[in-house]
Amino acid sequence: MRTFSMRSVAGFMLLGMLVPVLAACGGAPAAVPIKETVTPAASAAPTVPAAQGEFTTPHPILSDLKVRQAIAYCTNRPELISSVYPFLSADEQKGLLMDTFLPQGHWALAKDGITTYPFDAKKGAALLEEAGWKLPKDDTVRANAKNEPLSLSFTTTNVQFRQTWSAIFIQQMAACGIQIIPTYAPASWWFGATTGLARRDYELGGYAWVGQTDPGGITLYACNQIPLPSNNWQGQNSMGWCNQTASKAVNAANNTLDRNERIKQYGITQVEFSKDMVSLPLFNRFEAAAASNRFQGFKSDPTEYYTANADEWTVKDGDTLVLGFSQEPASLWTTVEQAASTATAIRLISSQYATQYGYDYQPVAQKTLATIESGAAKNVEVDVKEGDTVWTTAGEPAKLAKDVEVTTADGTTTKFSSGTLKLKQLTVTYTFIDGLKWADGKPFTKDDFALAYKIDCDPASGAVSLTGCKSISKVDFTSDTSYTVTYVPGVQWSTYYLAPIGSYPAHQVITSEGTYKGKTLAEVPAKDWSTLPEIAETPLSSGPYILEKWEKGQSMTFTANPNYYKGEPKVKKIIIKFIADANQAVAQLLTGDVDALDSSTLGAGDALQTVLDAAKKGTIQAFPIASSTWEHIDFNLFVK
């Protein structure tokens, strides 16, 4: 038999850092609620960082709030959306609009006090006039009292998607008397570690963030996260935005476990973000998945993989479904491989701890979310002294010593000098439903959880990240259906209620040829796990399906698991076909050779439109959504 690591959907979800995305995707929008437009605040220069040096001189144009707000009013966002998604209806296009850094439907989206910027070129022009940028007679570019032109550079990637909407943006700015000089840079430069965004080498910058179920946000919007030469370019707040109210609120939102308080603090941050107009949200990407008409139970969602509910699928005729993948997994061991293709496939053979539909979490194999309110978690104040291990504001464990920075129990950030400090310490008991078992019929035991902790937290395993492991002080494996984690003082994971430790079948005997043939999985050292076929290629299922065959470069074949704890699925066989070309994948969907394609395969080009057109005719099903990925334009408030 084969092995599989049953891991939580979220595990250690450390969501402070976001990843900019390069290409277009697609989805189906819900209606945007009508919001009251708030009158813009008076013009004000941004706060200058305390340390003088590079990027502490306010930008001569963009440091003026009136100019930034004018750019927002002069931007016809529905027209930008129409330029890249002409096949959407007016209501669908409207549903992609954003007013803050959170999408519609997010649990932390602010409902009150947001400054909105509906397209109003006249209001934009009036603000520019107030800011001293006049439009000379018979001229097309505004100028100030020194006769300097209102000219700004705009940097983005060279992908066609952004070139399309940014060309319209440039025309819109010209209509308001603002000259935009574009640079369409290679993504390798724009998103490079020492170039482009990372070095704040822009005035206006266009790109996308991938939204998260947990908003995070500290590295983007806190005052101490402004990248500067003096701090070795640490942080993602490349706008240079330092609004003390917003900074305090986003830190507070990430240093409390009370969701209502988090909503309140994120609301404050969004109010300040929209008022100061340091980053103009443009639109959510539009995405769509597609399925044959024989496929029943397909579920598309912006924050969950479509295979997460595979145990609920049915088929109108026959007993087999074929899924088209644009990429083949490199490995099925999620400790070292976290690509989307792996995550999508792994859900077929995984008993998931929790799902994350609709920007939120739902317990599945985990009995309940282990919250403080449910009594499963405690978050108490403890005294720490010099030499004790604590969790620092840098997000790592350290011995408490002079100048080590921590967040105290009252939410204050401080550097230790002497004596004792009070920090919060989390202790959480994670409980799982009865009846979980492996595909060989063996039930889960505490040894399975203990093995996962041992292997996944061993640096020799090659784990993608050990941050979560380092945040744990100790684990007590109390029974076959629960374990208790005590975290290092100072650790306040916002997703603490999601079980962080997976499980491996410790009892399983290795059958593949090699050094460990005949030994149990528990006897194999972590350094060699990635080489085991039982781990990387044909893992033992705890989910609805069993991986029977993997023909590299061609397909993967899964069959229904008779020992699945929810009962054997109705669809008896699932085949994943690897089809790199989107148009070829759509052609196979239309001929019935493939039953489902996700949004990553369809992309945002001709293949997507072909699918939508076919769905309108009733040939197939389409599942459009507003993606969690959103385009925006940042304003760099300071110059070198």
**DSSP secondary structure string, 451-466?**
HHHHHHT-GGG--S--
Q: 339 or 571: whose pLDDT is higher?
A: 571
pLDDT in tens, 73-113: 999 999 999 999 998 888 888 889 999 999 988 999 999 99
640: pLDDT strictly greater than 90 = no
pLDDT of residue 27: 28
Same domain, 215 and 84: yes
CATH of the domain at 152: 3.10.105.10
Please state the rounded mean pLDDT for residues 427-450.
97
Q: 64 or 462: whose pLDDT is higher?
A: 64
Same domain, 174 and 314: no
Q: Where are the beta strands (DSSP E) in 67-215?
A: 151-157, 179-185, 204-210
Please state the rounded mean pLDDT for residues 31-45.
29
- Dist CA 486 CA 471 (whole Å): 9
pLDDT of residue 255: 78
Residue type for position 456: D
* DSSP three-state, residue 625: strand
Same domain, 346 and 427: no
Beta carbons of 596 and 295 less than 8 angstroms apart: yes
Answer whether residue 498 is part of any domain. Answer: no
Same domain, 341 and 244: no
- Label the pairing between strands 555-560 and 573-578: antiparallel
* Closest to 70 (Cα-Cα) out of 144, 184, 221, 175: 175
Same domain, 394 and 349: no
pLDDT in tens, 209-231: 988 889 989 889 999 889 999 88
Q: 231 or 524: whose pLDDT is higher?
A: 524
- The mean of the pLDDT values for the chain is 89
Q: How many domains does the chain have?
A: 3
Domain that holds residue 470: 368-431+445-487
The DSSP letter of residue 315 is E
Same domain, 245 and 299: no
CATH of the domain at 341: 3.40.190.10
pLDDT of residue 173: 98
The pTM is what?
0.80
Please state the rounded mean pLDDT for residues 436-448.
97
Same domain, 590 and 615: yes
Q: Where are the beta strands (DSSP E) in 124-231?
A: 151-157, 179-185, 204-210
pLDDT of residue 88: 87
* Closest to 18 (Cα-Cα) out of 197, 232, 259, 199: 197
- Dist CA 110 CA 38 (whole Å): 14
Please state the rounded mean pLDDT for residues 162-180.
97
pLDDT of residue 35: 23
Beta carbons of 245 and 217 less than 8 angstroms apart: no
pLDDT in tens, 311-335: 999 999 999 999 999 999 988 988 8
Beta carbons of 554 and 538 less than 8 angstroms apart: no
pLDDT in tens, 256-299: 888 899 999 999 999 999 999 999 999 999 999 999 999 999 99
pLDDT in tens, 450-459: 999 999 999 9
Same domain, 109 and 222: yes
pLDDT in tens, 549-594: 999 999 999 999 999 999 999 999 999 999 999 999 999 999 999 9
